[in-house]
Amino acid sequence: MAPVKSLLLPAATALLALVAPSTANGRPKESTYYNPIFSGSYPDPSCIFVEEWDDTFFCASSSFNIFPGIPIHASKDLRNWKTISNVLTRHEQLPDLQLTNGSTSGIWAPTIRYHDKTFYVFTTLVHDKMDITDGSRWDNIIFKTKNPFDEESWSTPVHFNFTGYDPSPFWHEDGKVYMSGAHPWQVEPGVYQMVVDLETGETSEKVSLWNGTGGLAPEGSHTFYRDGWYYLLVAEGGTGMDHMVTMARSRDINGPYEPNPDNPILTNANTTEWFQTVGHADLFQDKSGNWWGVALSTRSGPEYRTYPMGRETVMVPVKWERNGWPVFEPVRGEMRGPLPRENRKFAQPDDCPSATKTIDFRKKIPDNFVYWRTPREGTYTVSERGHPNTLSLKPSHLNLTALDGNYAETGQTFIAVRQTDTLFTYSVNVEFEPKEEEEEAGVSVFLSMNHHIDLGIVNLPDKNTSSPTSGSLIPHLRFRAESFPAEEWVVAPQPVIELVPEAWRGKPLTLEIKAINLTHYAFSAGPANSEFRRRTIAYGAGDLVSWGFTGTLIGAYATNNGGEGTTKAYLSNWKYTPQSQFRD
């Protein structure tokens, strides 16, 4: 077996230069494209180019507790991308996803590779336990399929034993599959390697490959073979402001590895760029022989305070220098590079994954809708009898915070899309006639179980003693936010609780979330479909939901807040309208 992605022979390079689009001086034609290539919560990208699949690029990214998990993007031209499937779509593939604990648990950093007509995804299900050294925190797994376009065809995983994360395979010509991965930074941090049996998950002894250049948490490793060298690409510095990409190489896959004298080879640390935290890269080569790097980045500027979309996927051109090391272009919003000829086969509608027309829930839930962990059966029903063109939500006992912001085995009723635009307006009509106290349905900007901002319709006793409904249960509008842990500058807003105005009661309401500027969301309510009568109830700051490893979801929930209520909420006219993308 040949090592993955070996160097093109000089003759082949010359031939490709003839077919690649080129300018008069013989250099490939450069075109403009924009970062992020996937906006919204698509961190830890890993990409491949597969000639045998009709010259298609494929990428995988982390999903944490978002379900379906591990989205796969495809493209023919590196500009138009589409989510073609998710690796994790069935509860029985990974029942433990439901049992993870913590705001940064779930699926971390997949690596996608193609070998012998099969697509493999190596990843880790992280049980966010306090004891980092506990092997049971790290469930390392391998999924495969022969057809990534057929979502159902992704396998149940093979599990293998590695006390660490970010596993990445390399098929060696000796016939073995070498897996490199990261140790937790608290215990002997560094990149380690073992041989893994893809069928049984059996592993060999672990070898220490490289401990990086001294940055925190060497991780996100990938191995490439080129010109007689094994190149080890590594992320260091932690996934915040010191994030960077470094490289080392060796003649032997087990080392010793010598560092690139020009490390770090990619970072925006110590710059004033809008794109920060650049790191966790992967490399691939297109049909013309051009190399590309993908990485994660956060659009936050050096202030790094408000970045609700979290870590997104960016792409840069890469050139190998004569000295045998790759040089990455720095990450900017507007980029130029030798892109393949335009091909819109995988263009999203309106070039935006969630820019959809009004969704009327006539037949099915759209493909880009997501949940927090596996949805419970019978919770979300399209066009229930007597409620055509609606999505009914059966309330969960747990609210979005659940009991402790950590653990939610019995599940939460919440359906959402990723926030993919700096500015957007989301609105949905909610028909909800609560009967019990604390029954609630509403909309949320949701980052994690302990970072969310909500506006709900909730049944509460009327506390106004001079009101005719004093003491009885009346629908209220309740705005509140949860944000713990948080940075010291985060100020939790005062909850707002007010009666639903009498004229609005007993009718569907429109609830709206609008990202009005770089720092704030406006939460509004009004009678359904009457923009004129809609009014802003409160503002929520984006820094409340700028934390950890994930990005915000925008959607609707229903809960009885630990009570007994079973009243359903009916959603209709769901609309997410992108308004603006800040790239500089």
Ligand X SMILES: *[C@@H]1O[C@H](CO)[C@@H](O)[C@H](O)[C@H]1NC(C)=O
Residue among 270 and 566 whose Cβ is closer to ligand X: 270
Task: Write out the H or E segment, with its range, that includes residue 19.
Answer: helix 10-19
With CB under 6 A as the contact rule, which of the stretches 205-213, 289-297, 359-367, 372-380 interacts with ligand X? 205-213
- Contact set for ligand X, span 38-57 (CB under 6 A): none
Q: Which DSSP state fits 22?
A: B
Q: Which of 91, 539, 575, 581 binds ligand X (CB under 6 A)?
A: 539
Q: What is the closest distance, in whole angstroms, from the C-beta atom of residue 216 to ligand X in the complex?
A: 11
With CB under 6 A as the contact rule, which of the stretches 297-305, 462-470, 486-494, 503-511 interacts with ligand X? 462-470
Does 130 help bind ligand X (rule: CB under 6 A)? yes
With CB under 6 A as the contact rule, which of the stretches 281-289, 308-316, 424-432, 518-526 interacts with ligand X? 518-526
Q: Which of 148, 190, 308, 310 binds ligand X (CB under 6 A)?
A: 190
Q: What is the closest distance, in whole angstroms, from the C-beta atom of residue 561 to ligand X in the complex?
A: 5
Residue among 89 and 519 whose Cβ is closer to ligand X: 519
Residues in contact with ligand X, shown as a per-residue x/- string from 365 to 404 under the rule CB under 6 A: ----------------------------------x-x-x-
Q: What is the closest distance, in whole angstroms, from the C-beta atom of residue 83 to ligand X in the complex?
A: 31
Q: Which of 423, 460, 518, 583 binds ligand X (CB under 6 A)?
A: 518
Residue among 229 and 539 whose Cβ is closer to ligand X: 539
Chain-centroid distance of CA 546 in Å reads 14
Q: Is 44 considered catalytic here? A: yes
Q: Which two tokens stand for residue 532?
A: 């004129």
With CB under 6 A as the contact rule, which of the stretches 19-27, 44-52, 262-270, 272-280 interacts with ligand X? 262-270
Does 519 help bind ligand X (rule: CB under 6 A)? yes
Say how far apart CA 59 and CA 84 lie, in whole Å.
10
Q: Is 236 considered catalytic here? A: no
Does 264 help bind ligand X (rule: CB under 6 A)? yes
Q: Which two tokens stand for residue 159?
A: 């599990």
Say how far apart CA 482 and CA 405 lie, in whole Å.
9
In this chain, which residue has its C-beta nearest to ligand X?
A: 562
Q: Which two tokens stand for residue 480?
A: 């509140």
- Give the closest residue to 542 by CA, choosing from 370, 419, 457: 419
Residue among 348 and 422 whose Cβ is closer to ligand X: 422
Say how far apart CA 370 and CA 384 lie, in whole Å.
20
Name every residue whose Cβ is closer than 8 Å to that of residue 397 and which is 6 or more positions away in sequence.
410, 559, 560, 562, 563
Say how far apart CA 172 and CA 158 lie, in whole Å.
20
Q: Which two tokens stand for residue 425?
A: 């307006």
Does 297 help bind ligand X (rule: CB under 6 A)? no
Q: What is the closest distance, in whole angstroms, from the C-beta atom of residue 517 to ligand X in the complex?
A: 4
Q: Determine contact, residues 337/60, Cβ cutoff 8 Å.
A: no
Name every residue whose Cβ is closer than 8 Å to that of residue 225 and which is 6 or more positions away in sequence.
3, 4, 5, 6, 170, 231
Q: Which DSSP state fits 228?
A: T
Q: What is the closest distance, in whole angstroms, from the C-beta atom of residue 479 to ligand X in the complex?
A: 11
- Give the closest residue to 331 by CA, choosing from 284, 283, 291, 276: 276
- Give the closest residue to 48 by CA, choosing from 111, 96, 117: 111
- Contact set for ligand X, span 403-422 (CB under 6 A): 403, 406-407
Residue among 123 and 211 whose Cβ is closer to ligand X: 211
- The radius of gyration computed from the CA coordinates of the chain, to the nearest angstrom, equals 25
Q: What is the closest distance, in whole angstroms, from the C-beta atom of residue 330 to ligand X in the complex?
A: 12
- Contact set for ligand X, span 95-124 (CB under 6 A): 101
Does 517 help bind ligand X (rule: CB under 6 A)? yes
Say how far apart CA 421 and CA 574 lie, in whole Å.
17
Q: Determine contact, residues 573/360, Cβ cutoff 8 Å.
A: yes
Q: Determine contact, residues 45/313, Cβ cutoff 8 Å.
A: yes
Task: Say how many residues touch ligand X, by CB under 6 A.
Answer: 34
Say how far apart CA 480 and CA 570 lie, in whole Å.
22
Q: Which two tokens stand for residue 412?
A: 């939460």
Residue among 12 and 403 whose Cβ is closer to ligand X: 403
Active-site pick, 77, 151, 219, 431: 219
Task: Catalog residues that contact ligand X under the rule CB under 6 A.
Answer: 101, 129-130, 135, 161, 188, 190, 208, 210-211, 242, 244, 264, 267, 269-270, 399, 401, 403, 406-407, 464, 466-467, 480, 482, 516-520, 539, 561-562
- Which residues form the catalytic set? 44, 219
